Amino acid sequence: MPKPKQIDLCDGSVIPILYEDRNVLALDKPSGWMLAPNTWVHTSRNLQLALESSLMGGDFWARSRNLKFIRYIHRLDADASGILLMAKNPAVLAVLSKLFEERRVDKHYLAVIEGIPNQAEWECALPLAEKVPSHKPRPGKEGVKTFEASKVRAYVDPQNGKPALTQFRLLAQNGKRALIEAHPLTGRTHQIRVHLAESSFPIVGDTLYGKKGATLALRALQISYRDPFQKKQICITAPYKRFAAAYGFPEFQFPETKSSAE
């Protein structure tokens, strides 16, 4: 029997599997799932805990792979959707985490922003620092929105901030909003969100740095890296048409990944 191409969780959630090899699973994380420690046991929206519980419960997606371990390699904001890379064993976790730390993973995002940029391409190099909130919610009991709002908050700090660089490209526009591609060349906390907000183009639905909204319009579109185990280049692209259509761009087609968009 073939291995399922999705993970069915006990609450009815379906997590599509975008890519798999002997070392990793690339999941299409839905918006609203947090990446929190597995000690956050009082919420059904902790993706790491949900996956571990499903694995230990012997669910077919894990059993068919003889999977004994799963752990996220990098972070994706709770309200963002898209590619999330998961390690299948601790050794892979250590090696690929280092790739992210050393900026050897190329990442591209789609975002819907408030306003229309007057440039087709631009970049933001404002240095960023982090502010740790004084209040932290009890594990899982106050929900995803509170978890997001109480996280470390990033801000521009020209004197003491760490270097941060994001490249942007205008893809489409519709009324007072635009669809853009964001390419972060560094990996600071909330880098894309802060750089866009500081450029006067906050992401639609960004409660922290823009206006309140139902959903953060940010999607991890593509990840590519040189796999040190297989000695080859890996490029993973997430579907994007539903995301674009949901924000008023039904005809949009990403020009560089036409074959991967369906």
DSSP letter string, 138-168? -TTTTHHHHHHHTS-EEEE-TTTPBP--EEE
Sign (positive or negative) of CA dihedral 44, 76, 39, 72: positive
Residues in the chain: 262
| pLDDT of 69 | 97
| pLDDT of 153 | 84
| pLDDT of 211 | 86
- CA-to-CA distance for 214 and 52, rounded, in angstroms? 28
Is 77 catalytic? The answer is yes
Q: Say what percent of the chain tops pLDDT 90.
A: 76
Nearest-5° angle of CA 104, CA 167, CA 105?
A: 15
State the pTM of this model: 0.88
Contacts of residue 134, defined as CB under 8 A and 6 or more positions apart, other chains included, come to none
| pLDDT of 258 | 39
| pLDDT of 138 | 54
| pLDDT of 35 | 84
Name the nearest CA neighbour of 40 among 92, 69, 78.
78
pLDDT tens digits, residue range 212-257?
878 999 999 999 999 999 999 999 999 999 999 999 999 899 876 4
Set 8, 11, 59, 77: catalytic member: 77
Residues of the chain with pLDDT under 70: 1, 37-44, 133-152, 256-262
Name the nearest CA neighbour of 83 among 107, 48, 52, 47.
107
